[in-house]
């Protein structure tokens, strides 16, 4: 084999590995450990031109197995540094456990999501929540596409507080641009509130991702913008997000 051919094969392998890692970073069903740090700044609210808000969020996804079943455990811990009312503090923690099944075309998963009323006074729903979760991801030569669904229904908590009964649909799309770059939608959590019988959030946005090796570990950095078209009451209208995600692949 010529040196040129060897270099071409090595380059192709590196590109494929980088693409697979980039796809996994944007796939909630992927068996890859990740530690994510996010900042959401909402600089524009519907029906309140002076309101702003800022949310810091930590999220970790950890794959594990029970017998022949593969799981993804994920925990999300939010902290509001600024709210519309001027307050700050911890938000409620959410967790989910997804059992995943690999197929030639991609992967699907089913499991459960839970809401834990751990937030600060005034920032917590004061309700325990539980419900089903499901995801579907299809592999393509250019990237991945799919859908992820979570449902939370109140199962206990403060009876004086309104129940939390919501369904969330999240589109999954990652289009590879090469050299560690990819593009897709923003987080885009389309949310329906069964308690009020109305959409809580109708977002549309775009995000740009870049994989960067730092200290021998791959990191993905994301910048995104999102507009929420649900404009009843004082709701977020325009939000920008910055995310840093450390990826720890299986060895």
pLDDT at 7: 28
Q: Is the pLDDT of residue 131 over 70?
A: yes
pTM attached to this predicted model? 0.90
User: Could you say which architecture CATH assigns to the domain 3-248?
Assistant: Beta Barrel (2.40)
**Digit-coded pLDDT (tens) for 44-73:** 999 998 999 999 999 999 999 999 999 999
Q: Cβ distance 63 to 70 under 8 Å?
A: yes
Of the pLDDT bands very low, low, confident and very high (cuts 50, 70, 90), residue 12 is very low
Give the C-alpha separation, 108 to 62, whole Å.
Answer: 17
Confidence of residue 251 (pLDDT cuts 50, 70, 90): low
Buried b (16+ CB within 10 A) or exposed e, 175-205: bbeeebebebbbbbbbbbbeeeeeebbebeb
CB-count exposure of residue 24 (10 Å: 0-12, 13-18, 19+)? buried
What counts of helices (H) and strands (E) characterise the chain?
Answer: 1, 15
Query: To the nearest whole percent, how much of the chain has pLDDT over 70?
Result: 92
pLDDT score, position 2: 35
- Dihedral of alpha carbons 104, 105, 107, 110, sign: negative
Query: Under a CB-based contact definition with an 8 Å cutoff, are residues 18 and 143 in contact?
Result: no
Query: Which tokens hold the place of 90?
Result: 């911890």
């Amino acid at each position: 084999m010529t040196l040129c051919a060897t270099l071409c094969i090595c380059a192709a392998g590196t590109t494929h590995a980088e693409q697979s890692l980039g796809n996994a970073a944007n796939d909630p069903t992927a068996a890859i450990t990740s530690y994510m740090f996010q900042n959401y700044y909402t600089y524009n609210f519907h029906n309140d031109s002076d309101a702003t808000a800022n949310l810091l969020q930590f999220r970790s996804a950890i794959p594990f197995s029970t017998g022949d079943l593969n799981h993804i455990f994920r925990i999300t811990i939010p902290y509001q540094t600024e709210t519309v009312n001027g307050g700050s503090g911890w938000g409620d923690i959410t967790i989910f456990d997804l059992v995943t099944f690999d197929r030639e075309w991609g992967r699907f998963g089913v499991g459960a999501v839970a809401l834990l009323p751990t937030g600060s006074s005034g920032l917590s729903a004061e309700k325990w929540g539980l419900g089903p979760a499901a995801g579907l991801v299809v592999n393509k030569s250019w990237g991945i596409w799919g859908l992820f669904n979570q449902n939370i229904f109140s199962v206990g908590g403060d009876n004086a507080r309104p129940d939390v009964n919501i369904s969330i649909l999240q589109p999954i799309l990652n289009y590879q641009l090469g050299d560690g770059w990819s593009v897709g939608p923003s987080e885009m959590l389309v949310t329906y509130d069964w308690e009020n019988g109305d959409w809580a959030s109708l977002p549309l946005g775009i995000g740009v991702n870049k994989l960067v090796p730092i200290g021998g570990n791959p990191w993905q950095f994301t910048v995104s913008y999102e507009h929420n078209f649900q404009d009843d009451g004082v709701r977020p209208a325009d939000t920008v997000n910055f995310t840093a995600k450390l990826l720890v692949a299986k060895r």
